[in-house]
Structure 1
Amino acid sequence: MNTTNEQKQVSMRARVQAFGGFLTNMVLPNIGAFIAWGIVTALFIPSGWFPNESLNELVSPTVSYLLPLLLAYTGGRMVGGQRGAVLGSLGTIGLIIGSDIPMFMGAMIVGPLGGWIMKKTDNFLEGKIPAGFEMVVNNFSIGILGFILMILSYLLIGPTIQAANQLVTNAIEALVSTGFLPLLSLINEPAKVLFLNNVIDQGVYYPLGMQQTLEAGKSIYFMVASNPGPGLGLLLAYSIFGKKAAKRTAPGAIIIHFFGGIHELYFPYVLMKPITIISMIAGGMSGIVTFQLFGVGLVAGPSPGSIFSYLALTPKGNFLGVIAGVTIATIVSFLVTSVILKADKTADEDVFEESVERSKSMKQEGKQLSGARSVSLSKISFACDAGMGSSAMGATTLKNKLKKAGIEDIEIKNYRIEDVPTDSDIIVVHKDLEERTRKSHPDIQIVALQNYLQDPAIDRLVEEIVEGK
């Protein structure tokens, strides 16, 4: 019974992760546009660095029209290709015109919906169009569907989404007004280490942050889950009080996490000792309290969550509070984690040793991989939630290891889990994303990691490839 329940929980987590990954891949290609809007806001609004009445006119139309349409176009294309992108954008313009708020949430719903409708319509019409009428049917089908979806969005979908948005906004604003906003860390921090951070960031906080920024020129919502301070404090504690592999790898993880903005680097350290989630929550809460006390915010979502992103998106007069919030979160997380590590007598190496033993027990299977597949092994794909952070770093690490071994004829690239090419020989992914990966690619061998910087599974994979060559 327990095993069945665990399997259900893993399956549910995989589905939620996939949903978060979909949201991320709708937002991520357009992050540059969001940052550009944030820079314009920081510079030219009345309270900005260089107030300019004319250039300030760029702010409202960009956030109200351009950014939601980009999200809708991307989401529609992900589901229904180019025609789906057009239909999703048509539906979204109905939302925009019929609402009083930036329709980010609406765009992330109607964009993919338009793509799905277009895909189903094209599948239905396939093989039924008389020769010579393809262009007429294709153009009028998207035109008629676009007309219908635009009207429905304006009259029905838009008001519904706006009402839902208002409920969420009121709930979070109530937390702000009562001083309970730091309690969000009770949700944020556990969600992050389970790779569900994109669900809350791209799905909730960023849309609310953009809406608040349009009114106030900045928003604290961009900071409630993206603060790099708690992760930095945790890794600093591991660097000083950790043991063996955890202590060796933590300093490298600090650089990539804090300066590179890849927060996934500290997740395995929390999972290694789940009780350290207390330090992450304490760090997150203290950071939010500090941000509130100083009344600071950012002008756009810091993606990736690097300290450089934080500083680049900090508006005039907010630097002291932003730096203080990151610093306090780091100190609190460091102190709590240090107490936990010094009180815990178990060896940090346990998880790594287990991985080594599993690798040894599978050595014969690995030999078969090398012997049977080494000749044809040509493509290794690293995968993660968004396809750009930890997977990119992992791919680079493996390339360098193989290059040192004199092997450069294997294609090693990083992808979003659902976008991994079907002709991949091996997929490398974090163990907490393994179930989601296996569902998307059941016929491809998967190598699961526990630590991005030093993991026996990667060393074993390199050894097998070298031996096979």
Structure 2
Amino acid sequence: MTTVSAETKKTGGARVAVQRFGSFLSGMIMPNIPALIAWGIVTALFIDVGPFPNEGLASIVGPMIHYLLPILIAMQGGRMIYETRGAVVGAIATMGVIAGSDWLVLQFNATLPEGAAELNPVHMFIGAMIMGPLGAYAIKALDGLWEGKIKSGFEMLVNMFSAGIGGFLLALAGFYWLAPVINALMDVMGTAVRWLIETNLLPLTSVIIEPAKVFFLNNAINHGVLTPLGIADAAENGKSILFLLEANPGPGLGVLLAFTVFGTGVARATAPGAILIQFLGGIHEVYFPYVLMKPALLLAVVAGGATGVGTNMVFDAGLRAPAAPGSIFAVMLQTASDSYVGVILSVIFSAGVTFAVASAILLSSRKRDLLATEDGFSAAVAKTAANKGKSSSHLANLSAAAQVPAQKITNVIFACDAGMGSSAMGASVLRKKIIGAGIEGVTVTNKAVASLPGNADLVITQQQLTDRARAKEPQAVHVSVDSFMNAPEYDDVVELIRESEAQSSGSNPEGTTDTQDASAGGVATDTRVRSEAQILTRSQVRIHAGSATQDEALTEAAEILGAAGAVTGEYLSAMKEREATVSTYMGNELAIPHGTNDAKSAIKASALSVTRYDGGVDWSGEKVTFVIGIAGVGDEHLEILSKIAELFSDDAEVARLKQASTEEELLQLLSAVNAS
């Protein structure tokens, strides 16, 4: 386990907490953006002031914004906590908040004198983001009270009534207690925003929003405040400027253009490609390393952001719904019919102002940068990835582009938490790509992070383990991947090896050979494995027509390995601990759960379990069809795993495995991995 100083925890704890909270809010909102887009299209086309007024179709607008969208958000929030059961209870609870809010508005309007402006309904997006997860947590805790205590045959009865009664009680709590609080909160926030607009101070929000974006703290602001307020504003006025406070791609474009013209080194070389990803693709995070490389550039993005907000205020411009991702295409799609001039100018002006300020900053230090012996861009990319707190293929690609070592890369190591399976499969896939590219003299092995020897040229890990690997191998190039199976970064690594070969004398570093110490997790070319009968048998292969939860799939994998005499009962806990640290999702619908490095004592023999779930498994947000459990003594299972990696890296082979109608047929298809 990585040791973290108390000072580090103190300085990073608040930021990480905000990041996690913002990511959770984003996780509820982002999957439902298509529904917001659909609502925006219906609103734009069919209301009485639209190009195709249609009273019947316009009647969809109100129910969608008032009921459908909050309930979808609540269900997503509940699903993130407790899958379908949490989603259902969260939706029930949210209906209580919606009804309670409507009742309060109705009572208030009834007291108004005749002819007075009535209070509009409050759309319960914030209520949904509270009650969805709360309902899921409540039913999960309730289920835990009698888990394993229900008599056989009564499980469905108890499950149905507990969820129904729990949802009913939460709906009552939402109606009487939460609805008044949310109505008052929305009133306060709405008043604050109107005051900022009326006093022409709204551009000052860029002082908070632009730096927050760079440090990945913006989700809490954007999805917790701006999106709910913007939706309420758009429902009343047909558009909202609030959707453009964070989504404007102009500041990022301005920074990248400045680096393209006045930058130095790798930052200048990568900036044009980053423009395509940021401005057209809407992935704003690719410009964050450029800002972090020179923190003074925060002044540029703040100035550009404020300029964009001010321009939209002058032209009374806004979007009909959130623009996600923040691509210029998404922004234009959601632009209100009377706002195209303002929105387009806001992007142009914000990019121009950012470019001007950023150029001045870059020119002021350009001579010093040209004379510098080290390029700070790689460190800025790493810092950005650390700020994000999770993997990103776009940042990984920038990182790979930024690191072309002077020495030839001959020793590549895949590192995972235990060195047992994930890294072995990734090493096999990359080794095949390197051989296919005609590159010779490169050794690709795998190890546990704790066993890294300190002499690697390039280390590949999952994002969560990169910092630990970097501490063990500070001299190596480090590449982070989302999954070890067919990661797009592998092609970048192959190209990186080619470039290092071209830039070096071609001599191999001392101590690099084609074989590695197997006990340390390396994949040696002369690895010996036990027979198929000992590693994988018919009783260890299963096919299920339905789906399963991740916990159920882990439990079944552990049970199969236990029945084969390969592990003790403690191994399941180690497998769950492994998932809590780093996901074992490999890509291509495959997960290979196994224990942590500390779980070696729970392994009695090497074995594999193979389970196919035709209905799929939600594996930490990824769809998995095949779950291959691993228990390995020494390196007995590694050659089989490397061949499984080759098998699952071929889409045609995966399709054949999915079409196998019996366990016997599936075992026969898998038995090819044991061929010598």
What TM-score range do you get, normalising by the shorter chain? Answer: 0.7 to 0.9
Shift of 1:29: 1.2
Question: After superposition, what is the alpha-carbon deviation per residue over 1:59-87, rounded to whole angstroms, capped at 9, x for unaligned?
Answer: 11100000000000010111122111111
What is aligned with 1:347? 369
1:126 aligned counterpart, secondary structure: coil
Distance 2:229 2:597 in 1: 40
Tell me if the contact between 1:302 and 1:309 (Cα under 8 Å) persists in the aligned partners. yes
Tell me if the contact between 1:23 and 1:203 (Cα under 8 Å) persists in the aligned partners. yes
Q: 2:188 aligns with which of 167, 180, 194?
A: 167
What is aligned with 2:58? 56
In the alignment, structure 2 segments of 5+ residues that lack a partner are 102-120, 383-401, 430-460, 465-479, 498-578, 588-594, 599-641, 647-676
Q: 2:491 aligns with which of 395, 400, 410?
A: 400
Shift of 1:419: 8.9
Q: 1:269 aligns with which of 290, 311, 316?
A: 290
Shift of 1:5: 3.9
Tell me if the contact between 1:297 and 1:318 (Cα under 8 Å) persists in the aligned partners. yes
Question: After superposition, what is the alpha-carbon deviation per residue over 1:9-58, rounded to whole angstroms, capped at 9, x for unaligned?
Answer: 21221121111111111111111111111111111223323222222111
Tell me if the contact between 2:126 and 2:224 (Cα under 8 Å) persists in the aligned partners. yes
Shift of 1:220: 0.4
What is aligned with 1:94? 96
What is aligned with 1:70? 72
What is aligned with 2:583? 422
What is aligned with 2:387? none
Tell me if the contact between 1:49 and 1:316 (Cα under 8 Å) persists in the aligned partners. no
Tell me if the contact between 1:45 and 1:217 (Cα under 8 Å) persists in the aligned partners. no
Tell me if the contact between 1:91 and 1:146 (Cα under 8 Å) persists in the aligned partners. yes
What is aligned with 1:377? 426
What is aligned with 1:22? 24
Q: 1:200 aligns with which of 210, 215, 221?
A: 221
2:247 aligned counterpart, secondary structure: coil
Aligned length: 411
Q: Pairwise CA RMSD of aligned residues?
A: 3.4
Identity rate, percent: 44
Tell me if the contact between 1:381 and 1:420 (Cα under 8 Å) persists in the aligned partners. no
1:324 aligns with 2:345: yes
Shift of 1:320: 0.7
Shift of 1:132: 2.0
1:377 aligned counterpart, secondary structure: helix
1:223 aligned counterpart, secondary structure: helix
Tell me if the contact between 1:381 and 1:424 (Cα under 8 Å) persists in the aligned partners. no
2:60 aligned counterpart, secondary structure: helix
Shift of 1:112: 0.2
Question: After superposition, what is the alpha-carbon deviation per residue over 1:118-173, rounded to whole angstroms, capped at 9, x for unaligned?
Answer: 11111111012122221221111111111111111111111111211221121121
Look at both structures and tell me which one has the larger radius of gyration over its CA atoms.
Answer: 2
Shift of 1:393: 13
In the alignment, structure 1 segments of 5+ residues that lack a partner are 384-389, 407-417, 427-440, 445-464
Distance 1:393 1:265 in 2: 20
What's the TM-score once normalised by structure 2's chain length?
A: 0.56
Distance 2:483 2:148 in 1: 45
Between the two structures, name the one with larger relative contact order (CA 8 Å, sep ≥ 6): 1
In structure 2, do the counterparts of structure 1 residues 44 and 242 end up closer, same or farther at CA, with 3 Å as the change threshold?
Answer: same
Q: 1:242 aligns with which of 253, 263, 273?
A: 263
Tell me if the contact between 1:46 and 1:52 (Cα under 8 Å) persists in the aligned partners. yes
Tell me if the contact between 2:100 and 2:175 (Cα under 8 Å) persists in the aligned partners. yes
**Counterparts of 1:123-162 in structure 2 under 5 Å?**
123-162=144-183
Distance 2:581 2:9 in 1: 24
In structure 2, do the counterparts of structure 1 residues 267 and 290 end up closer, same or farther at CA, with 3 Å as the change threshold?
Answer: same
Tell me if the contact between 2:266 and 2:375 (Cα under 8 Å) persists in the aligned partners. no
